[in-house]
């Protein structure tokens, strides 16, 4: 097949970008041609299609003059229209278009007559802040398009930013977004059900869990050499970073490691805990080395993780996981088998779980082995590819909406 992949970045910022590149690799290794379409950026990975990418400011520091274009970027529409006029595609796989490409690309997709699927890496299609999380709990107030709740609560940090985000969603819906996408692909059943509660049509959704690459078993350390307790992810409050720091403070004789970047890093470093090491953003090889030599990986998320990629990657490396019992994490980690599930925000529960792992390395090793077997069985690249190709064939047979 020839697949057009659309995403707002062609470099890695977070899990969404990583999964876009992983999906591309999996398809290419199996003989398919994947053409990217994204916003141009100096950090972009090289691509023979780079001259087709429209320019756009990054979403983390959008200039005021750029704000109108985040709602409707004609340059992105023109670039995509030219690409789809000049090239033939069997299917379009959408990852993200927010801000950098804007809803302007939606009419182009509708008119092209090529079936469109979209992986939903978070909750942006129904939530202006993408997390479905506010005031320490899952928030459903904007269900059915009642986005004035988001404006009232300044969910994007200010009234102006929230209005811009809500306007983008409203424009997209008015352009037929939900009918243009033939199949929405949530990455967990939890996410699918929550999106359904918020108004996304259940008939257009099909769960497609993210894939994970299994490290060679020969590269995994032998029993007894695992030591530190590891956190991997964005250093943001909704990821439970404060709880992880409290864990390190509660167990000063145990080594704790945090890998990732985010707005919480300066405050964490100011704690100056002698047993907590900050590694920053790691490349994939260095991250794998850190995870596979850990005693356990802790995923203390407060928000309802759509999937839980960190947990699956730890399991693939044979490392037990201690995770919050929320979102997709509760579908990935089997409590007592692959690791432990703890109520979100329960510091004492996380301390007890870490203590159990450290006190019984033999059982921890068994949990790691069980997790690796589960990752291989449920989240392997082959399983992902089979599911994805079934979806592609189904939407191609159905045809694009008229």
Number of residues that make up the chain: 402
- pTM more than 0.95: no
φ/ψ of 335, rounded to 5, equals -60, 120
Mean pLDDT of the chain: 90
Confidence of residue 222 (pLDDT cuts 50, 70, 90): low
Distance (Å, whole) CA 299 – CA 295: 13
Write down the pLDDT at residue 13: 80
Write down the pLDDT at residue 18: 87
Is the CB of residue 291 less than 8 Å from the CB of residue 317? yes
Confidence of residue 33 (pLDDT cuts 50, 70, 90): very high
Q: Is a pLDDT exceeding 70 seen at residue 225?
A: no
pLDDT tens sequence across 16-30:
888 999 999 999 999
Distance (Å, whole) CA 265 – CA 286: 19
Task: Give the Å distances, CA to CA, from 24 to 149, 233, 244.
Answer: 37, 22, 33
Q: Is a pLDDT exceeding 60 seen at residue 113?
A: yes
Q: Is a pLDDT exceeding 70 seen at residue 78?
A: yes
* Alpha-helical regions (H) of 30-98: 67-71, 74-86
Write down the pLDDT at residue 282: 87
Write down the pLDDT at residue 48: 94
Confidence of residue 316 (pLDDT cuts 50, 70, 90): very high
- Report the DSSP beta bridge partners of residue 91: 3
Task: Give the Å distances, CA to CA, from 388 to 91, 181, 392, 394.
Answer: 12, 15, 6, 10
Structure-block tokens of residue 222: 């032998």
pLDDT tens sequence across 327-346:
999 999 999 999 999 999 99
What percent of the chain is modeled with pLDDT above 90?
67
Is the CB of residue 20 less than 8 Å from the CB of residue 5? yes
Q: Is a pLDDT exceeding 70 seen at residue 307?
A: yes
Q: Which residue matches tokens 């529409």?
A: 77
Write down the pLDDT at residue 100: 87
Sign for the CA dihedral angle at 315, 317, 323, 327 comes to negative
Write down the pLDDT at residue 330: 93
Angle at Cα 388 formed by Cα 87 and Cα 98, nearest 5°?
Answer: 65
Query: If you average pLDDT over residues 204-231, what whole number do you get?
Result: 79
Write down the pLDDT at residue 187: 95
Confidence of residue 214 (pLDDT cuts 50, 70, 90): confident
Query: If you average pLDDT over residues 232-239, what whole number do you get?
Result: 92
Distance (Å, whole) CA 46 – CA 208: 28
Task: Give the Å distances, CA to CA, from 245 to 12, 61, 103, 271.
Answer: 26, 28, 40, 9
Query: If you average pLDDT over residues 139-144, what whole number do you get?
Result: 89
Distance (Å, whole) CA 229 – CA 377: 26
Write down the pLDDT at residue 397: 92
Query: If you average pLDDT over residues 61-88, what whole number do you get?
Result: 86
Q: Mind listing the domains of the chain with CATH numbers?
A: 2-211+381-398 (3.40.50.2000), 217-378 (3.40.50.2000)
Write down the pLDDT at residue 221: 61
Q: Is a pLDDT exceeding 90 seen at residue 194?
A: yes
Q: Is a pLDDT exceeding 80 seen at residue 400?
A: no
pLDDT: is 373 or 284 the higher one?
373
CA 336, distance to chain mean position in Å, is: 25
**Considering only CA atoms, which of 291, 261, 263, 298 is closest in space to residue 278?**
261
Confidence of residue 288 (pLDDT cuts 50, 70, 90): confident
What percent of the chain is modeled with pLDDT above 70?
96
Write down the pLDDT at residue 15: 81
């Amino acid at each position: 097949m020839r697949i057009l992949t659309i995403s707002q970045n062609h470099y890695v910022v977070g899990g969404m970008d990583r999964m876009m590149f992983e999906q591309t690799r999996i398809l290419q290794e199996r003989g398919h041609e994947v053409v990217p379409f994204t916003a141009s950026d100096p950090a972009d990975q090289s691509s023979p299609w780079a001259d087709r990418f429209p320019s756009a400011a990054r979403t983390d520091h959008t200039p005021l003059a750029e704000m109108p274009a985040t709602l409707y970027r004609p340059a992105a529409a023109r670039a995509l229209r030219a690409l789809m006029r000049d090239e033939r595609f069997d299917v379009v796989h959408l990852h993200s278009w927010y801000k950098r490409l804007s809803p302007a690309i939606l009419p182009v997709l509708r008119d092209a007559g090529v079936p469109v699927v979209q992986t939903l890496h978070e909750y942006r299609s129904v939530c202006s802040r993408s997390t479905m999380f506010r005031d320490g709990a899952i928030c459903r107030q904007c269900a059915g398009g009642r986005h004035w709740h988001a404006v009232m609560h300044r969910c994007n940090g200010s009234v102006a930013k929230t209005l811009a985000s809500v306007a983008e969603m409203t424009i997209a819906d008015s352009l037929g977004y939900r009918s243009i996408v033939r199949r929405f692909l949530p990455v967990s059943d939890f996410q699918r059900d929550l999106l359904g509660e918020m108004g996304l049509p259940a008939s257009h959704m099909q769960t497609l869990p993210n894939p994970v690459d299994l490290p060679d078993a020969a590269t995994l350390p032998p029993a007894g050499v695992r030591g530190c307790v590891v956190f991997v992810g964005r250093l943001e409050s909704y990821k439970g970073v404060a709880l992880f720091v409290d864990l390190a403070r509660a167990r000063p004789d145990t080594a704790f490691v945090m890998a990732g970047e985010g707005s919480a890093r300066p405050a964490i470093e100011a704690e100056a805990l002698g047993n907590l090491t900050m590694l920053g953003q790691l490349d994939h090889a260095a991250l794998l080395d850190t995870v596979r030599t850990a005693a356990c990986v802790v995923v203390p998320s407060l928000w309802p993780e759509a999937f839980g990629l960190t947990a699956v990657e730890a399991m693939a490396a044979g490392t037990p996981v201690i995770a919050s019992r929320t979102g997709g994490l509760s579908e990935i980690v089997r409590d007592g088998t692959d690791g432990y599930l703890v109520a979100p925000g329960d510091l004492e529960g996380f301390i007890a779980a870490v203590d159990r792992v450290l006190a019984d390395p033999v059982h921890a090793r068994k949990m790691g082995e069980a997790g690796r077997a589960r990752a291989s069985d449920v989240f392997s690249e082959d399983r992902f590819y089979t599911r994805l190709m079934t979806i592609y064939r189904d939407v191609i047979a159905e045809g694009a909406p008229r």
